[in-house]
Amino acid sequence: MKKMSLGQFVGNIFRVKMPPDMRAVVQRVSKAEVRVEGQMVGRIGRGLLVLVGFSTDDTPEGGMAMAKKIVNLRVFENDEARMDRSILDAGGGVLCVSQFTLYGDCRKGRRPSYSRAASPEAARPLYEAFLKSMGELLRASDVSLSAGRFQAMMEVESMNDGPVTLLLDSEKVF
């Protein structure tokens, strides 16, 4: 039997359908782009920049749950200047960038430990499944989807709008 964290146990009790350990940093941006070796590989105007990390326990189904959470976050302002609209309502773009360093554990010493981060071989299919899920959720909308390049050294440039930055962690560590 697979060991279950307290967050997963409580989530099962209340039927919360969040991924086991996936993490994301979601920023509302005016614009964002990602470059690899000086070449632009992804760019959006107004929308969401999503930095996503995968743990050793993640599944493709967890990626779908996280994608649903992200596209339905109400972080865009309505006519009364109240954050009450999702990216699906507001339109724009989503730029997804894989970032294993979201699992950097800095509690001991000065060098982060990445022992909970999924290996590149395990994370690649999870990232691809996450992007596929995101694409399926955005398909019927006016929202574009762009992505960084998995396991590449990337330069990410963004202009945070608000600023609005949210940390999503299914274990609710933060």
Query: Would you please indicate which residues are annotated as catalytic (active-site) residues?
Result: 99-101
Closest CA to 23 of 62, 72, 76, 60: 62
CB-CB contact of 50 with 66 (8 Å): no
154, burial (CB in 10 Å: exposed 0-12, middle 13-18, buried 19+)? middle
- Give the Cα separation of 43 and 26 in Å (integer): 16
